[in-house]
Structure 1
Amino acid sequence: MQHPLYQQARFLKSAPSIKQAPPDEGWEVAFAGRSNAGKSSALNTITSQKSLARVSKTPGRTQLINFFELDDQRRLVDLPGYGFARVNEAMRREWERHLSEYIEKRESLAGLIVLMDIRHPLTEVDELMLGWTQGLELPVHVLLTKADKLKRGPAKATVLKVQKYLQEHYPHATAQTFSSLKREGLVQVWAKLDKWLHYERPAKKAD
Structure 2
Amino acid sequence: MTLPAGGLSEARDEAERASLIEAGRLLFARRCDFFTAAQGLDHLPPPEGIEVALAGRSNVGKSSLMNALTGQNSLARVSVTPGRTKQLNFFRVEESPLTLVDMPGYGYAKASKAVKEDWQGLMFDFLRGRPNLRRVLLLMDARVETKASDTAVMDLLDRAAVAFQLVITKADGVKPGALARRQAEVEALARKHPAGHPLVVTTSSETGAGIEELRAELAALVA
* TM-score computed with the length of structure 2 as normaliser: 0.82
- Pairing of 1:50-65 with structure 2 (within 5 A): 50-65=73-88
2:175 matched residue in structure 1: 151
How much has 1:6 moved relative to structure 2? 2.8
SS at structure 2 position matched to 1:104 = helix
Shift of 1:152: 2.3
1:192 has 2:214 as partner: no
Per the TM alignment, residue 164 of structure 1 is displaced from its structure 2 partner at its CA by 2.3
Q: Could you list the per-position Cα deviations for residues 54-87 of structure 1 after superposition, in whole angstroms to 9, with x for gaps in the alignment? A: 0012121110100001136320000001111632
- 1:23 maps to a residue whose letter is P
Greater mean deviation of Cα atoms: 172-181 or 108-117: 172-181
Alpha-carbon distance in 2 for matches of 1:98, 1:68: 18
Q: Name the amino acid aligned to 2:34.
A: F
- Which residue is equivalent to 1:88? 112
Q: How does 1:164-183 map to 2 (within 5 A)?
A: 164-167=188-191, 169-174=192-197, 175-183=200-208
Helix, strand or coil at the partner of 2:25: coil
**Sequence identity of aligned pairs in percent?**
34
Distance (whole Å) between structure 2 residues aligned to residue 67 and residue 136 of structure 1: 22
After superposition, residues 128-147 of structure 1 pair within 5 angstroms as 128-147=152-171
Equivalences for residues 16-165 of structure 1 within 5 A: 16-71=39-94, 73-84=97-108, 86-165=110-189
Dislocated runs of 4+, deviation >4 Å: none
In structure 1, the residue corresponding to 2:134 is in which secondary structure? Answer: strand
SS at match of 2:26: coil
User: Which amino acid in 2 is paired with 1:34?
Assistant: R
- Is the partner of 1:114 in helix, strand or coil? strand
CA–CA distance in 2 between the matches of 1:86 and 1:117?
19
Separation in 1, partners of 2:166, 2:122: 22
CA contact (8 A) 1:41 1:55 kept: yes
Aligned CA RMSD, in angstroms, stands at 1.8
Q: Partners of 1:57 and 1:162 in 2: how far apart?
A: 24
Give structure 2 stretches of 5+ with no counterpart: 1-21
CA distance in 1, matches of 2:122, 2:173: 33
Q: CA deviation at 1:188?
A: 1.7
> TM (normalized to structure 1)?
0.88
Instruction: Tell me the matched-pair count.
Output: 197
| Post-superposition offset of 1:128 | 0.4
